[in-house]
């Protein structure tokens, strides 16, 4: 009888470990996706900043030409 109780208790504890591992894997996958999305957002912002800088330079060049 004690062996059966010990086996049931061991199985229950093993089940908790599997659930914890599954939860950790799910959280890790979500964090990875969040990181990838952040990288994409950063690249888009860098492109937008580059375009804005280029437009500002063009405006300054035109103003310079008009002043001459």
pLDDT of residue 6: 72
| Rounded Cα–Cα distance for residues 40 and 46 (Å) | 10
Is 24 a residue whose pLDDT tops 90?
no
14/56: higher pLDDT = 56
Q: Which of 21-25, 49-53, 60-64 has the lowest mean pLDDT?
A: 21-25
The pTM for the full model equals 0.57
Q: What is the mean pLDDT of residues 30-44?
A: 97
What confidence tier does 18 reach under pLDDT thresholds 50, 70, 90? low
């Amino acid at each position: 009888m004690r062996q059966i109780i010990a086996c049931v208790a061991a199985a229950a504890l093993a089940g908790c470990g599997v659930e914890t591992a599954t939860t950790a894997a799910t959280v890790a996958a979500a964090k990875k996706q969040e990181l990838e999305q952040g990288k994409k957002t950063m690249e888009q912002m860098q492109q937008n900043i580059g375009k804005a800088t280029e437009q500002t330079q063009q405006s300054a060049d035109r103003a310079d030409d008009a002043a001459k």
